[in-house]
Amino acid sequence: MAASAGPEIERLISLLSKLPGLGPRSARRAALALLKRRDQLLLPLSEALSQAATKVRTCTTCGALDTQDPCAICADPARDNSLICVVEEVGALWAMERAGAFRGRYHVLGGLLSALDGVGPADLRIKTLVERASANGVREVILALPATVDGQTTAHYLAESLAQAGVSVTMLARGVPVGGDLDWLDDGTIAQAMRARRPA
C-alpha cells in the first residue's frame, strides 16, 4: 500500500481500514493525521483503546456495554422497571438514549433472526428477555427493531415468545420521519403513514 513506509505504518493503515466507514485511502489519511499529531491524537487514542479493552464489558442483565456490570442504566433506580425496550445492538440503545424519549430498561438482542445469515433464536439473547419480561412488575415490552425484513421477522418471533409472559408487546410507530419530505420518502413508508393516520 505504502511501499516505503515501514511495517509499523503499514500495520496501522491495515487495521484502520477495517473500521466501518474507512477504506484503504481514508485509512492512509487517518494514519497520517495520527502520526502528525502524536501527542494530541495518536498517544491518547492508543491509551483510550487500551482503557476500553480493559474496562468496558457487556452488562449481564441487558447486554449493553459499560465499565460497570450491571450497567449504568440497569443500575439507575430512577428508571421505570415496568418497561423493557428491545434493541438489536448497542448502537440502537445509544440512539434511543440520545432521543431521550424512553426512561425504562433496555434489552440488547445482539442481532436479528436471519435465515440467510444462519442466525437462529439460540444465537440471540431471547431466553433472558423472556425471563426478564416474566418477572414481577414488567408491564410492557417495546420492540425497537429496524423496519427491515429481518427486523420484522424477529419482532414477530419475539411477540410469540413473549405471549406467555403476560406483558403487552408493542413496537415503534412507522410513519413520516421528522423533516421528511414526501417527495423523497419511499412508497412503503408513505403507505404505512397513510394507514396509521391520526387526527391533526
Which stretches of the chain bind a copy of itself, using CB under 8 A? Answer: 1-9, 11-12, 15-16, 18-22, 26, 28-35, 38, 41-53, 55-56, 64-68, 71-73, 89-91, 93-94, 97-98
Nearer residue to a copy of itself within complex by CB, 67 or 134: 67
How far is the C-alpha of 162 from the C-alpha of 18, rounded, in Å? Answer: 38
User: Based on CB atoms, which residue is closest to a copy of itself, 39 or 186?
Assistant: 39
Minimum Å gap between C-beta 39 and a copy of itself is 9
**CA of residue 127 relative to chain centroid, distance:** 19
Nearer to a copy of itself among residue 46 and residue 168 (C-beta): 46
19 vs 147, beta carbon nearer a copy of itself:
19
Of residues 9 and 119, the one with the C-beta less far from a copy of itself: 9
CB 143 → a copy of itself: shortest distance, Å?
20
For 116, the grid coordinates are: 440467510
DSSP classification of residue 40: I
CB of 72 to a copy of itself, least distance (A): 5
Q: How far apart are CA 24 and CA 12, in angstroms?
A: 11
CB of 173 to a copy of itself, least distance (A): 23
How far apart CA 125 and CA 162 sit, in angstroms, is 13
d(CA 137, CA 142): 15
Cβ-based burial of 141 (10 A; exposed 0-12, middle 13-18, buried ≥19) = buried
